[in-house]
Amino acid sequence: MTATVDTRPAADQFRLGLLFALGSAFAFGMSGPLAKALMEAGWTPISAVTARLAGGALAMAVYATMRKPDWVHEALQHWKTVIAYGVAPIAGAQLCYYYAVSHLSVAVALLLEYTSPLLVVGWLWATTRRRPSRLTLGGVALAIAGIMLVLNVFDGAHINLVGVGWGLGAAVCAACYFMMSDEVTADGTGLNSVTLAAGGLVVGAVGVGVLGISGLAPMTFTARDTVVAGYTTSWVVPVVALALIPTAIAYLLGIMGIARLRPRFASLVGLAEVMFAVLAAWVLLGEALTPVQAVGGVVVLAGLVLARQGDRTEKVAEASWPETPVDGAAEPETVRGS
């Protein structure tokens, strides 16, 4: 007997999740240009990260209090998850990426961080012992190839082993972001996305701030004017934008999107952040998009389509298992979040 599945609610959840995930990728893509404007004005990387996370934490705390007044109580109930989320996916990913950039070209550092979908696929493969479909694996390979074209990695990149280590650390933290965000349920019966985003940003801001105040990392702020989109403006503008767009809004939309998508596919959608970052750099910093990068963007989208088709195939296979073992075969193991 084949199970009958109503695909309309699932399809609606997928479309909404995809919209949230793409919105999150777009918002995250604003981070680089805004942070670069501050660093060109004399800010150190950890200063930019601290301002970003502190501002984002404040904005999310205000929003969470209005949307879910008991979010602090819920965060304390799930304190282990909230602290782990603030330390690894939020603070860890930011710090590792900026330190990778200090040793490598931006292109190589980004490429290393965006190997996180491979880590997600590999982790789920190892823990569930279910091999991803060929379409999924093909989509991963194609998406990574597209990212290499978008970032122009083949154009004389410099390699440094210390930087590679930091870049891979950023990839691990990014993979944790996708896997840990899957703990949030789309129907609101589990840990709320607003609580996780607000609590995680507070933890991340405190952690990075303590690291800078302790002197373990140089922390320098300046009040010099910055240049954004060709206009000279106060440093307050990129700081506020950095706190709201690629931080508070990005993390909230990302968590809500992953709650409605599989972590593996959501991590692939996250690759679109690189395309949005390139576009943002073009608009805000005047860095032009080359034909090769445009081709790479198309390749990334093709990879996402393949990966999604692979997820669809696996979902149909799961729904089509017989309700009872056939010919003495063992019942298939139910896999959560695969």
Segment 44-69, tens digit of pLDDT:
888 988 998 999 899 889 989 998 89
For residue 191, the cross-strand partners are 184
Alpha-carbon span 338 to 123, nearest angstrom: 10
Give residue 177's pLDDT band: very low, low, confident or very high (50, 70, 90): confident
Which residue type sits at 314? E
300, 283, 238, 106: CA torsion to nearest 10:
50
Token pair 């501050």: residue:
38
**DSSP E strands, the chain:** 226-228, 231-233
Exposure b/e, 228-246, CB count within 10 A at least 16 = b = beeeeeebeebbebbbbbb
CB burial of residue 325 (10 Å; 0-12, 13-18, 19+): exposed
The reply to whether the predicted model has a pTM over 0.85 is no
Give residue 87's pLDDT band: very low, low, confident or very high (50, 70, 90): very high
Greater pLDDT, 106 or 209: 209
Question: What average pLDDT does the structure give for the chain?
Answer: 76
List C-alpha distances in Å: 302 to 18, 20, 37, 275. 15, 19, 32, 13
pLDDT score recorded for residue 162: 86
Which tens digits make up the pLDDT trace of 3-42?
444 455 666 778 888 888 888 888 887 887 788 788 888 8
Mean pLDDT of 61-84: 91
pLDDT score recorded for residue 264: 62
Which tens digits make up the pLDDT trace of 282-326?
777 666 667 777 787 778 778 776 776 665 555 545 444 333 343
Tokens of 268: 């692939």
pLDDT score recorded for residue 326: 39
Alpha-carbon span 172 to 132, nearest angstrom: 20
Which tens digits make up the pLDDT trace of 105-133?
666 677 778 778 778 777 877 887 777 77
